Amino acid sequence: MRPPVATIDLGALRHNLAVVRSRVADARILAVVKADAYGHGLLRAADAFRVGADAFACSGVMEAVALREHGISQPVVALLGFQDEEELRLASRHRIDLTVHCVKQLAMLETARLVKPVRIWLKFNTGMNRLGFPIERAQELLAAISALPAVLPGPVVMTHLACADEPGTLEVGSQIRRFDDVRWLPDTEQSIANSAGVLAWPESHRQWVRPGLILYGCSPFEHCTGGEFGLKPAMTIDAPVIAVNRIPAGNRVGYGGAWEAKADGWLATVAAGYGDGYPRHARNGTPVLINGRRYGLAGRVSMDLVTVDLGQDESVAIGDTATLWGAGLPVEEVAASASTICYELLCSAGSRIRTEAIDSLPAMPAVSTMDASLRSA
């Protein structure tokens, strides 16, 4: 029996990068490839973005080192910075940019003796309240860090938007105003925009934008899909149909009998489950695509299997392919039906899934029809 397959479309990745480029004018693109490029493969995605991305961002230093060893020559930023002196020395050796967000990191930089100074992205808190220095200390900290021999001149200043995925929110404007209340030097490079900022908040673009999710074809906004912004899904999860059975009216399906047949019909059993990263809490009726037609999930998701209500359709056969999300079935819909977010699904595909890469024909970025409604919602 063949295992589930994750097909990664390199052409879709390049297309999505082109969509971002069409939206950000002269801003430079820091392509976020953390969490194994949102489950798409760190090195595979880096190769797809190698032409077009101005820099790359990952979570930690070791991911950044992997990009350097793969031959990535653009700047690479470790978004969580460094945790100890060993990581700081690694960053220096491999020319890795580092986010600095806490006093401990500053203290290590003050005493560091590095082969080469490192470039710093100085992070300030304007409302996310996770990482970053108080924005009120910006000028003080910039002066302090600029005096350190271990630091290259001209750090980038950055903050992170907490509610950019909420159309119409006032919080984005408040965060940007807090950031802009600082009298930055004219040549200070800034970075604010995440994926949602790229799509809906052009005032956040600045010199650097940091797209992540949208590079993989997904929308950061609830009730929207990436296709509505001209994006293409880069990951498609397929699994084989391994059984088709008649089910009489009144019979229940799966653990706990969570789904009951309302009429005589047919069920397909598909060889994929939560052991492969399919969401355990996907509800009855969650869409599944078989032979280009949508059906609904029936019963609880098992470790290895899901069952699909075919109704009266007798056309599905053993060996047919079921698409769990991707081309033809937006992952955003599946995530909503499982009360989660598409980030989680993309990152959670299990080790049993075989991964294949294809390269579809490049396409011109589509024109979005969503912008006006997002800003006025």
Rounded distance, CA 202 to CA 295, Å? 39
Residue 343 annotated as catalytic: no
- Candidates 123, 232, 255, 274; catalytic one: 255
**Best CA proximity match to 25, nearest among 207, 197, 254:** 207
**Best CA proximity match to 103, nearest among 62, 152, 137:** 137
- Candidates 34, 38, 123, 274; catalytic one: 34
**Pairing relationship of beta strands 252-253 and 259-260 according to DSSP bridges:** antiparallel
DSSP codes, 33-69: -HHHHHTT-HHHHHHHHTTT-SEEEESSHHHHHHHHH
Residue appearing with tokens 């159309």: 167
Rounded distance, CA 342 to CA 329, Å? 12
Q: Is 206 helix (H, G, I), strand (E, B) or coil?
A: coil
Rounded distance, CA 283 to CA 297, Å? 7
Residue 255 annotated as catalytic: yes
Angle made by CA atoms 19, 4, 358, in degrees to the nearest 5: 40
**Residues catalogued as catalytic:** 34, 255
